[in-house]
A and B are shown apart, each in its own frame.
Chain A
Amino acid sequence: NAGVTQTPKFQVLKTGQSMTLQCAQDMNHNSMYWYRQDPGMGLRLIYYSASEGTTDKGEVPNGYNVSRLNKREFSLRLESAAPSQTSVYFCASSADPVEDTQYFGPGTRLTVL
């Protein structure tokens, strides 16, 4: 089992460029999440998908879109990157959206110049 995988691991973008962060899990989990982690801010939820076919906004959704492609995959898209989106992005998954432990991917370090 690979658990939760994320690609790429590192990325540098120029302001205005777009990109998609990919996430996949092989644990047959129903729920998937995207977080960003900034110094002094802790983990903040961007978007989540409680089950296949549904997505909902988290605490900081502006500037992002998501797609739950199937049960395994949940992608995060930045349409027009801004320096404020420089961060480390973590994908996570869980069997149940409320009670169960979330399992995290290794993270993507994104820098927007």
Chain B
Amino acid sequence: ILNVEQSPQSLHVQEGDSTNFTCSFPSSNFYALHWYRWETAKSPEALFVMTLNGDEKKKGRISATLNTKEGYSYLYIKGSQPEDSATYLCAFTNYGGSQGNLIFGKGTKLSVKP
């Protein structure tokens, strides 16, 4: 059974702090790693899709890195703002997996206090 682990489960930071969290996934037959942002009472929104080892993606104050050989990805938020409060999900898919079968982690819930 393929498993995606995210840590920490939850995180409380002050406005202006920079923070990061981890997504771990099976490294064999890797195909793609997705990051989503999920605000309470809304639906998940895509942040990044990464496919190559060493990929780095950036959107504003949020960036992500990918290490497919060791099976992890980091999401960084620089200078956190209250509007960054959300659950951040990663999802993984591999070669040989069922088509369309994104395997989601349980998420890291970020709370940013003003």
Task: List A residues at the B interface (Cβ < 8 Å).
Answer: 31, 33, 40-45, 48, 50, 56, 58-59, 90, 94, 97-107
Closest 9 CB pairs of A and B: A97-B100, A104-B43, A42-B106, A101-B46, A48-B100, A43-B104, A97-B99, A50-B99, A42-B104
Give the number of residues in B that approach A within 8 Å (Cβ atoms). Answer: 23
Q: Is the beta-carbon distance between B49 and A101 smaller than 8 angstroms?
A: yes
Among candidates A43, A56, A101, A102, residue contacting B98 with C-beta atoms closer than 8 Å: A56
B3 to chain A minimum Cβ distance, whole angstroms, is 11
Q: Is the CB of A98 within 8 A of B32?
A: yes
Chain B 87-114 residues near chain A, CB threshold 8 A: 89, 91, 93, 97-102, 104-107
CA of A48 to CA of B34, assembled, Å: 18
Chain A min CB distance to B92 (Å): 11
**Which one, B32, B42, B102, B104, contacts A106 given CB within 8 A?**
B42
- What residues of chain B have their CB less than 8 Å away from a CB belonging to chain A? 31-32, 34, 42-46, 49, 51, 89, 91, 93, 97-102, 104-107
Nearest residue (CB) in B for A6 is: B43
**Separation of A61 and B49 alpha carbons in the complex (Å):** 26
Given the complex of chains A and B, what is the CA–CA distance between A45 and B105 in angstroms?
Answer: 12
23 contacts between A and B (CB under 8 A): A40-B106, A43-B44, A43-B89, A44-B104, A45-B100, A45-B101, A45-B102, A48-B99, A56-B98, A56-B99, A58-B98, A90-B44, A94-B100, A97-B100, A98-B32, A98-B100, A99-B31, A99-B51, A99-B93, A102-B46, A103-B46, A104-B43, A107-B43
**Interchain nearest-CB distance for B102 vs A (Å):** 7
| Contact A33 B43, beta carbon cutoff 8 Å | no
